[in-house]
Amino acid sequence: MPDLFVDVFDVFMRTYQGFLEATVVTLELTAIGVVLGTVIGLIFALMKISGSKILRGLANIYITVIRGTPLIVQIMFLYFGIVEIYTMSNFWAGAIALGVHNGAYIAEIFRGAIQGIDPGQREASLSLGMNRKQTMQRIVFPQALRRSIPPLGNQFIITLKDSSLVYIIGVAEIFSLANREAAQSYQAFESFLVVALYYLVLVMIFTFLLRLYENKLDVDKA
């Protein structure tokens, strides 16, 4: 067991600079994936609750397909589909794939938040002379957005871990570096243990920040 700790520490000291650089790439992928997913998710959430059967049908197809297929398959499918149409870096192809994947889950977050607003508030605003668009913009959406922030934070953490799958298209993020180190040093267990610790620390940091924000929201409600 002491030898294992020595080997892990050796791998850490040998690779920490590269891991720090790869961590930046991982965080960039995560942030872009969540922001893009939020935009896509909001659009499809509004489509799903619209009065149009066509829009609802398109939203249901998108959400069903994305939630029903593995992320790694989506990354490969979108990557090879994108580069056939437009040449772009592996990084942006991976970020777009993460955004499309997140969009389906974020759409359900927004839909649930919007439909969770008391219908009486909509009726009251309509009785005061607001139209449906104004009611959504001024009454429903601000409250729904506030309710959506904690689950969006959780989605960020999920995306942080899911970003490891973009190594399959050659993006130099944390897992890709660990995979390369394991192949070069023949210390697979130690290399993947180090990368697991990196992910654990990142997740713990963002979980702590999310809890702080949720506590702030609870205080503001009181």
CA distance 159 to 57: 26
Specify the pTM.
0.86
Query: How does pLDDT run across 131-182, given as a tens digit for each residue?
Result: 777 777 778 888 888 888 889 989 999 999 999 999 988 888 888 888 888 8
Number of folded domains in the chain?
Answer: 1
> Which CATH number fits the domain that encloses residue 206?
1.10.3720.10
Residue 210 has a CB neighbour count (10 Å cut-off) of 17
Helix (H) or strand (E) holding 145: helix 141-162
Range of the domain at 64: 2-221
Query: DSSP characters for 177-207?
Result: HHHHHHHHHS-HHHHHHHHHHHHHHHHHHHH
For the chain, what percent of residues have pLDDT higher than 90?
42
Query: How does pLDDT run across 7-62, given as a tens digit for each residue?
Result: 777 777 787 788 888 899 999 999 999 999 999 999 999 999 888 899 999 999 99
